[in-house]
A and B are shown apart, each in its own frame.
Chain A
Amino acid sequence: MSPRLRRGERPFPPDEDLPEPARPAGLLLDARLHLLDRQVVDVDEVPTAIVDDLELTESRDEPRTLLVSALLSGPVLGTRILGGRPPSSRLHRVRWSHVAAVGTVVRLGVHGDQLDVLWVERWLRDRVIGRIPGGRHDPE
């Protein structure tokens, strides 16, 4: 069962009306709600990856400020079911500076071919599909 506080352990009454915090100037996003598991498409609208995780880095200019520095994509299905996390070498980074827009999908401002995240597809295309007769051109 997922961790939870039992009723007797809850430190606050559940139906409290809490005040709204001062709204910051920028767009607000909830990481899990608006970014995780979203499709990433490149500048040509080609599906490139799924946002499996986010890399968080402390700002160099302002200590104690945590910034999202990259989208991470990799084999996370097993660890989501069984717990733990894949080794960082298995997660591919897409730098946040490549992100052009966040909506129903995350749009990149670069071509997917330039990103490490697609190396498996490129390898399969060049080494396997490309060696099948007719595998190097569109169907006629």
Chain B
Amino acid sequence: MILVFCELKDGKLRKPSAEALSEGRRLADASGQQLGALTVGASADGAADAAKYGADSILTCVAPSLASYSSDAFAAAIASAAKAKGATIVLGAATAMGKDALPRAAARLDAGYAGDVTGLSMEGGKLQAQRPVYAGKAFATTGFTSAVQVATTRPNVFAATEKTGPGAMESVEAPAGDFKAIVKEILAKGGGKVDLTEANVIVAGGRGLKSGENFKILEELADALGGVVGASRAAVDAGWGLSHGIQVGQTGKVVSPTLYIAAGISGAIQHLAGMSSSKYIVAINKDPDAPIFKIADYGIVGDLFEVVPELTKAAKAMGIGAHH
């Protein structure tokens, strides 16, 4: 069996989990295996959604003690379901939770782990993973020698393809005993916006913005385009009150949106590492020789303080982003 750890939020299957499931379905078809979806929590509301993405069975691990996320409890639940079902491949999305629980589950299963993968295939009955290394400056093909193989799929890379499966529901045993660590509270700061790593459109600003307040013009453009705001390390480190969480680059988020707009960003190697796998890149810079233009599909040489508000205006006039 290929087992996919699925995250539920507000009674729904999270999109990165739907993507992982779809990829699991593809691999299961390629290797003649069953696809199992596993949910863990105090309720299994939304677990049935897994059938839409081809799950043969939906395993629900439900207990009141699982209401809050716990690394060790969730890892134990994943490992024990994998053992019970004899799963040789365990997948999940490379989200904050997936990247926390699955490596731990892998160690519990004596399994190798490939994180944040952008491609998966079956070769001679074993899993192979394509993954960016050096923050996307190179790609590695990872092979496994362990019996059980664990991988997390990078959000926004694999398509969530609807394909109805039987989705037979089955409950599995919840981990017992005291949990070593547990989430006590969630301090949301993002105002409900999607995370950079899951965003389709990112409008990023650098030192050229000159102040934190000036990021407002980027937010307005991002809002018009249905996107979110990112920043270079120079901007984050400038003491402008920007959150570390929006830094893009080798020591920040590695992102691959459909559209990445870089305003007032020069294009240092560490920044490019984090965003050069974006589908389309737009650079706005007053320096025509800025390195960012070398990788941009569309370049605007000009003053961002004039160009960005015009972009917002043009987007609104054309009704762009209206479907978001």
Chain B binds chain A: no
